[in-house]
Structure 1
Amino acid sequence: MENFRGEQYITEAGDFLNGVDHEANKKLNKEIEDLRREGCKVKAGEKTDSAYNNPDNIKNIYNYLKRGDAELKEIRKYFIHKNPATAAIASVLEKIPFVRENKWGNDIDSYLEISRDKLLYGKDQTDSKPWHNQRGSALTFLTISEAEGLSVFGKNGEILSEGKYPTMSGPLDKSVFDEKINGLPLTEVMIQDKINNGVDKATAIEEVEKRISEVREFIQAPVTEKFSNVIRHCADSLGIRERVETVNGLSIDYLKKVAEKENRSIDDMLVMSFGCGTGLATLKMLKKLKNETGEAPTVILLDQDPLALAAAQSLAKKWNLEDKIEIHCERLFSKLGKPLSLEGVLGNRKLDIAEDSGLREYLPDGVYKQLTRESLKFLRTGGLMITGNMNVNRPQKEFLHGLMGWVPKVRMRSIKEGFKLLQKSGIPKESIEATVTASGVYTVFAIET
């Protein structure tokens, strides 16, 4: 047994995702073992997700997706054989940072999408399109985070199991369209955002109307049994929920510790989520902390997606937390990848916690280090930075960009690479504590300055 953040933890080998991906499990354990020998603080997270109560379901979904990915790979090979020029251009463009979409990549994706839905959810259950239309946006995480609480419907519309939420959007409903960002109607902000990014007004209006229509469909769409099984038990979904649980646990423990040690009110503390998306994870943390202590910090929710921030506002109102959040809709990175200067957001305020746990896997190494340094500048002495990355040796790594078809491309890194990038940003190794989620999908890094 060793000490980690004042607690004891077991150093024996972990069985990430219950060990169903033997090769990934072996590599992750080797990584952890090597890092510990080098004096790095690394531990495996606990299996707290309810999906682990059904180990057979996890194994069955793993094998089901593995077969589907193999079949999709053959379909992709066929397309590339028939369209070599399109495939070559798409391959080059997808390696360029911050290029989210391109015509050639879209051509390949459109061809594969015909097969994805049937391979994922079965020939008779192809009702997942409303969710797949949200790929690459923060709204997808609403479904994954609340998977256990979603009602499930049969082929004929009958309720198989009644949950807290009737549709795949979980806690989000149509009230999101009534939200205003900085006093302006949501659609107006969305259109202006596209114009600011070089889209002409007519096209911007057309694209926003399409986006709103897709979100309305998402909010109304029922969840089928196969879809529910996948989002509850696949490695990626488990990883996302575990990451939220880990980040929120670290945040709550830290805020309570500071309140006791420094005799400060949690109400007076300041947290920032950089690239917050819908803010669901952070709002859950606030809600739990308020229930436990009667207090909650102010949280700055910073993102460049107006629709995601409107969702955050809507959810905050439902949970009576609107007085605890600040919404900032800003471009997070310049076209050259330089992170937003936080001075314009924070002024002379200092952060108790700076969190960006869902962002780093989209960033090149140089931008990763710049963001670390920018966040450190605005952390108070003794403050906490929480970040993370998707693991390169994770289980079922081919699923995300294969059968799932996630965009944009994710930069999976080894745990050691995460340590090195943080150290190159000026953080001593001794200050970094890493938690590998029980699924093996993510590593969360906690740094006290």
Structure 2
Amino acid sequence: MEIIVASLIFICCYVFIMTEQINRAVVTLTGGVLLLLTGIYSAERMLTEYIDWNTIALLFSMMVLIAITEKTGLFGFIAIRFAQKVKGDPIPLLIGAGALTGIGSALLDNVTTVLIFVPIMLKITKLLKLPSFPYLLMIIFSSNIGGAATLIGDPPNIMIGQAVEHLTFSSFLIHMAPIAIIMFGVMLLFVWALFRKSLRRTKFDVKELLAIDAQTYLHRTPMLYQSITVLLLTVTGFLLHAFLYVELTTVALSGAVLLLLLTEKELASEKIFEKVEWVTLFFFIGLFTLVGGLEEVGVIDEIARAIIVITDGDYVQTVILILWVSGLLSGIVDNIPFVAAMIPVVQEFESYGMVYLDPVWWALALGACLGGNATLIGASANVVVTGLAEGAHEKISFIRFMLYGFPLVIISLVVSTIYIYFRYLVPYIG
């Protein structure tokens, strides 16, 4: 009975999120409350086990850092410089946005990267009078593909790296970066084919663009230099966190609090907190509670264990099925709890005679990361971009995004299947 109740609540909430008739944060929080009222789990378990407060704290910290830095005019300066470099040409701008987001997502993490790049891109598209949707779409797709390339790029990769000791940073680069680069190229062709006709140079005068002095956008007060310094220190902390044995959340919180302290006299903290995307944060909290309900009643565990039953323990079929199941489900539920449920199941595969599990781990990582492009709630970066866009009055429709995202995920899974098959599975055929 509990399985039916939890599943119905999840499905109903999902329908309301898709139709966008009610605020998405209110929908997910309502679902969480209903799970409490029906006794699916206790408030204590919801707050301590199912809501990922590390993710919430990381997002909040980066929102604070970005909000303060934006007040200095730095993002406006970068936006003008970027637009001038491509001479206002929409297609090079689209490709450049994707490349920078992909690289940033691989070196930092995809959530941090989109928090930095989205405000810049929104300024550029407004300046050049271009539609923001293709560029936001490119940023989301690139962030999830770029995040798949490294150990620190996407939360599922971090979780797998922590669970499997020999899968190091270099292991992810060797095995995941090649397919991420291939998929980035495929994605560029996909997006270019979709928008090449609609993205034409606007009536904006290029000479006028090149004549703009980007320096005028900068407010050269102590806050500018403080923001740049703290932001660079935070990014450095992200890059070195594995060597410093400091969590990403700790690095982000330290940076946010330090910058709040340094800029308190110039900019009141209350003004910064008003700029935080609270709807996005509460949507995440609600989403964690909804998926937590499915986890509590065993739905996610049963899906994971059914994979072995379906494939009857066949090695090749198991690897391919894990890729597709994790890819398709990551577009529906958050990939973090799904990967958490899958890790112990994959570890149990050894008892079925599967000694070499590395291809299974790569299939799980690829499916979880690339599958996030299917819907607006498929990955953390998607939700963050949606929130930032909504705050700038550039709302992204759930259905409209899915019409582009879902086909890309199918293409991604087909390409990944070919990659995994020829790189890892050919010796096991026959």
Pairwise TM-score range, normalised by the shorter structure: 0.3 to 0.5
TM-score (norm 1): 0.34
Higher relative CO (CA 8 A, sep ≥ 6), structure 1 or 2?
2
Structure richer in helix, relative to its length: 2
TM-score (norm 2): 0.35
